[in-house]
Amino acid sequence: MWGLLLAVTALAPSVGLSLGAPSASVLGLAPGSTLAPHSSLTQPSTKANETSEQHVRLRVIKKKKVIVKKRKKLRQPGPSVTARPLVTTSPGKTLTLPEKQEPGCPPLGLESLRVSDSQLEASSSQSYGLGPHRGRLNIQSGLEDGDLYDGAWCAEQQDTEPWLQVDAKNPVRFSGIVTQGRNSVWRYDWVTSYKVQFSNDSQTWWKSRNHSSGMDMVFPANSDPETPVLNLLPEPQVARFIRLLPQTWFQKGAPCLRAEILACPVSDPNDLFPEAHTLGSADSLDFRHHNYKAMRKLMKQVNEQCPNITRIYSIGKSHQGLKLYVMEMSDQPGEHELGEPEVRYVAGMHGNEALGRELLLLLMQFLCHEFLRGNPRVTRLLTETRIHLLPSMNPDGYEIAYHRGSELVGWAEGRWTHQGIDLNHNFADLNTPLWYAEDDGLVPHTVPNHHLPLPTYYTLPNATVAPETWAVIKWMKRIPFVLSANLHGGELVVSYPFDMTRTPWAARELTPTPDDAVFRWLSTVYAGTNRVMQDTDRRPCHSQDFSLHGNVINGADWHTVPGSMNDFSYLHTNCFEVTVELSCDKFPHEKELPQEWENNKDALLTYLEQVRMGIAGVVRDKDTELGIADAVIAVEGINHDVTTAWGGDYWRLLTPGDYVVAASAEGYHTVKQHCQVTFEEGPVPCNFLLTKTPKQRLRELLAAGAKLPPDLRRKLERLRGQKN
Cβ contact 325:313 at 8 Å: yes
Closest CA to 576 of 404, 333, 341, 397: 341
Cβ contact 235:206 at 8 Å: no
Could you confirm whether 581 is annotated as catalytic? Answer: yes
Cβ contact 588:490 at 8 Å: no
Dihedral of CA atoms 548, 549, 555, 559 in degrees, nearest 10, equals -30
Q: Tell me how many degrees the CA angle 550-554-556 measures, rounded to the nearest 5.
A: 145
According to DSSP, residue 503 is labeled S
Q: Tell me how many degrees the CA angle 391-395-400 measures, rounded to the nearest 5.
A: 125
Helix (H) or strand (E) holding 235: strand 229-249
Neighbours of 272 (CB within 10 A): 8
- Residue 107 dihedral angles phi and psi, to the nearest 5°: -70, 145
- The residue from 111, 407, 581, 592 that is catalytic is 581
Cβ contact 564:499 at 8 Å: yes
Neighbours of 20 (CB within 10 A): 14
Longest dimension (CA), the chain: 120
Separation of CA 291 from chain center: 16
Task: Cite the beta strand spans of 63-150 per DSSP E.
Answer: 65-71, 120-122
Compute CA distances 673 → 294, 596, 637, whole Å.
Answer: 52, 45, 14
- In angstroms, rounded to a whole number, what is the distance separating the alpha carbons of residues 57 and 59? 7
- Residue 24 dihedral angles phi and psi, to the nearest 5°: -65, -40
Closest CA to 174 of 214, 233, 118: 233
Residues 6+ apart with CB under 8 A from 304: none
Closest CA to 230 of 209, 190, 261, 208: 261
Compute CA distances 561 → 231, 503, 517, whole Å.
Answer: 37, 12, 21
- In angstroms, rounded to a whole number, what is the distance separating the alpha carbons of residues 718 and 364? 66
- In angstroms, rounded to a whole number, what is the distance separating the alpha carbons of residues 220 and 222? 7
Closest CA to 136 of 674, 696, 584, 638: 584
Residue 688, preceding bond cis, omega within 30 degrees? no
Closest CA to 546 of 519, 508, 584: 584
- In angstroms, rounded to a whole number, what is the distance separating the alpha carbons of residues 450 and 572? 6
- In angstroms, rounded to a whole number, what is the distance separating the alpha carbons of residues 694 and 325? 48
10 Å CB burial of residue 720 (0-12, 13-18, 19+) is exposed
Compute CA distances 401 → 201, 321, 390, 405, 411, whole Å.
Answer: 38, 17, 18, 6, 10
- In angstroms, rounded to a whole number, what is the distance separating the alpha carbons of residues 483 and 625? 28
First and final C-alpha spacing in the chain: 90
Cβ contact 390:344 at 8 Å: yes
- In angstroms, rounded to a whole number, what is the distance separating the alpha carbons of residues 436 and 610? 32
Cβ contact 400:413 at 8 Å: yes
Active site residues: 581
